[in-house]
Amino acid sequence: MLRRAIRGAKAPALVRPTAGFRTCSRVRYELKDLRGLPREEPALVNEPIINSADKFVDKAEERHAYGRYLMSMMPKFIQSFSVWKDELTLYVPPTGIIPLMYFLRDHASTQFTTVMDITGVDYPGRQFRFEVVYNLLSVRHNSRIRVKTYASESSPVPSVCEIFEGANWYERETYDMFGVLFVNHPDLRRIMTDYGFEGHPLRKDFPIHGYVELRYDEDKRRILYEPVQMTQAFRNFSAGSTAWEPVGPGRDDTPETFKFPTPQPDPEENKEEKK
């Protein structure tokens, strides 16, 4: 019965391609010749150069006015200020950090009640090589401000932990990475590196490989600190000294013109040696 049904079934009629299908197929085969079509020569880029700070011109004027206002309020402590885009930066000496921070936190026109970050920058060529940077936030006025001061390896900076409780760990991190000392800090010790770590990693004169290396000694069952050894055993890279197993006869691609023959001794020297 199944065979009879199959034999009696009609073959499906072939569907003729429509005009649209023929057009698409013709276009598909004609795409190969598009590379040879004439093209316009690339034109020069005539777009004007746009400074990214231009869109902050209006805000920059406001920041300049605000910076002049702060300098008029604290002329004894603020040495200067600068504006880049919408960022206002105040430059103060270390002795002016505490009174300025109190003013920025408590005054009605500032209200910078949150310290977002404290970090440092190392300039070895300067007399005071470290630049300590404070980033403050005013939630009330939805504004930020940056305060910068300076320090050296021996001159400290007053701690602002009594003003901002969140500055504790930030100052510890700055001390750990740069070696900046903060006076009156409640617990000034390393926070990111090990207790026996030598040096401060973010200084420009700190070596990349460090001063000591750590390894675990199986015999002593403890971690050992040892000086860094950058020496390497002698390795001969001449032919036949490779650690890989050679396969096949190989091929020397060095031209003959770059090969220098072994110099032969002079015949006169050989005669003298025989005598």
Cβ atoms of residues 104 and 110 within 8 Å:
yes
Among the residues of the chain, which ranges form H helices?
2-8, 19-30, 57-73, 97-106, 167-178, 267-274
Instruction: Say if residue 108's pLDDT is above 90.
Output: yes
pLDDT in the model for residue 217: 87
Residue 16 lies in a domain: no
Note whether residue 273 is domain-resident: no
Q: Write out the residue range of the structural domain in which residue 135 sits.
A: 54-183
The residue with greater pLDDT, 252 or 77, is 77
Which pLDDT value is given to residue 17?
52
Higher pLDDT, 18 or 172: 172
pLDDT at residue 260, as a whole number: 59
Which residue reads 């401060």 in tokens? 200
What secondary structure does DSSP assign to 49-104, as a single string?
A: P--TTGGGHHHHHHHHHHHHHHHHHSTTT--EEEEETTEEEEE--GGGHHHHHHHH
Q: Can you give the pLDDT at residue 7?
A: 58
Give Cα 174 distance to the centre of its chain. 18
8 Å CB contact between 180 and 121:
no
Instruction: Examine residue 264 and state whether it is found in any structural domain, yes or no.
Output: no
At 120-137, the pLDDT tens digits run 999 999 999 999 999 999
**Mean pLDDT value across the chain:** 81
How many angstroms separate the Cα of 231 from the Cα of each of 238, 242, 243?
A: 20, 20, 20
**Which of the pair, 23 or 181, is modelled with greater confidence?**
181
Phi, psi at 172, each rounded to 5°? -65, -40
Number of domains in the chain: 1
Q: Given this model, what pLDDT does residue 252 score?
A: 64
Banded model confidence at residue 211, pLDDT cuts 50, 70, 90: confident
Q: Is the pLDDT of residue 184 over 80?
A: yes
Average pLDDT over residues 165-189: 96
Q: Higher pLDDT residue, 227 or 159? A: 159
Q: Which residue has the tokens 């926070």?
A: 191
Which pLDDT score is estimated for 143? 93
Q: What confidence score (pLDDT) does residue 239 get?
A: 53
Q: Is residue 174 part of a domain?
A: yes
40 vs 111, residue with greater confidence: 111
Give the strand pairing for 87-91 and 143-151.
parallel
> Is residue 162 one of the residues assigned to a domain?
yes
Between CA 128 and CA 93 the distance in angstroms is 11
Please state the rounded mean pLDDT for residues 40-51.
70
CATH number of domain containing 101:
3.30.460.80
Yes or no: say if 73 and 100 are a contact pair by the CB < 8 Å rule.
no
Q: Could you tell me which residue, 4 or 185, shows the higher pLDDT?
A: 185
Q: What is the mean pLDDT of residues 42-65?
A: 79
Please list the helix, strand and coil fractions of the chain in percent, rounded to the nearest 5, in that order: 30, 20, 50
Q: What local confidence, expressed as pLDDT, does residue 210 receive?
A: 81
For residues 101-110, one letter each, b for 16 or more C-beta atoms within 10 angstroms of the residue's C-beta and e for the rest, the string is: bebbbeeeeb
Q: How far apart are CA 144 and CA 138, in angstroms?
A: 6
Is pLDDT of 181 > 70? Answer: yes
Q: At 189, which amino acid appears?
A: R
Instruction: Decide if 237 is inside a domain.
Output: no
Average pLDDT over residues 96-109: 96
Tell me: pLDDT of 203 over 60.
yes
Classified as helix, coil or strand, 256 is: helix
Residue 259 counted as domain residue = no
What does the pLDDT average to over 11-30? 52
DSSP string, 17-40: PPHHHHHHHHHHHHGGGGGGS--P
Residue-level pLDDT at 55:
84
Whether residue 181 contacts residue 130, with contact meaning beta carbons closer than 8 Å, is answered with: no
- Is 90 exceeded by the pLDDT of residue 90? yes
CA-based nearest residue to 89, from 81, 100, 97: 81
Q: Cα separation of 272 and 270, whole Å?
A: 5
Tell me the mean pLDDT in the region 173-197: 92
